[in-house]
Amino acid sequence: MEFLDRIKKEMSEGIVKAILEHHGYRVIDTGIEKVIREVSCLPQDLYLTLGFPEALRRLPDFVVMNVNQTQKILVDVKYRSSWSNDLLFDERTLAQLEYFKNITLIVINSIPPDPQKMKEHKPTGAYIRCVQLKHELGKNFVNWRNNYNGWVEIDKNKLEKFQWFSTHYLWEVFKNIPNTDEGDIIKSSVMALSGIIAGLSKP
């Protein structure tokens, strides 16, 4: 993994973990890089030659549980400087989804599109959103916010009009998070991350 990509990944995961824990969730590190720390420094070809089992290689970044530990959500964290539906067709994500059946992607978007056409939009909700995915009866689906069909098959034609704001607010999936973003925790976290990454990207 390239150094800057590693920084984006680790910092994005750290921010998401901090936000969730701040609002009372239990966040358990489960990604293979956390379970077996040594693999994080290996080049891809060497990592593959080690032959780790599929279940271990496909582990999501986190298992998130409520404070009573009665509910769980499998979470994978992604950082994007802009949104693209290509993420829904990513081979690694779909292989992971097929194995675990339900995955929530928490996507950090440092430059979200303008939400002018959205009614009752919360500006903070533009920066971090949830993409809920499920695998059922041999097909992959994404939960389309405010779409009458709800779960829509992951197909390029069916998702032609799917966009960044077709995904869900963080607080719609994690109910303990207030939609007011008290203290600007979400917005300030993303702005800090974006500033650091922008600085590292400069020659």
Mean pLDDT of the chain, nearest integer: 82
* Percent residues over pLDDT 70 in the chain: 77
Say which range, 51-60, 159-168, 169-178, has the weakest mean pLDDT: 51-60
Cβ distance 172 to 130 under 8 Å?
A: yes
Phi-psi region of 101 (alpha: psi -120 to 50; beta: other; left: phi over 0): left
Q: DSSP secondary-structure letter at 82?
A: S
Question: Is 169 a residue whose pLDDT tops 80?
Answer: yes
Q: In whole angstroms, what is the distance from residue 185 CA to residue 187 CA?
A: 6
The per-residue pLDDT for range 26-55, each reduced to its tens digit, is 999 887 666 655 455 555 545 455 555 566
How high is the pLDDT of residue 47? 47
pTM given for the model: 0.85
Helix (H, G, I), strand (E, B) or coil at 135: strand
Whose tokens are 């098959």? That residue is: 153
Distant-in-sequence, close-in-space partners of 53: CB < 8 Å, separation ≥ 6 = none
Question: Is 166 a residue whose pLDDT tops 50?
Answer: yes
| Rounded mean pLDDT, 168-186 | 84
Tell me the one-letter amino acid at 102.
N
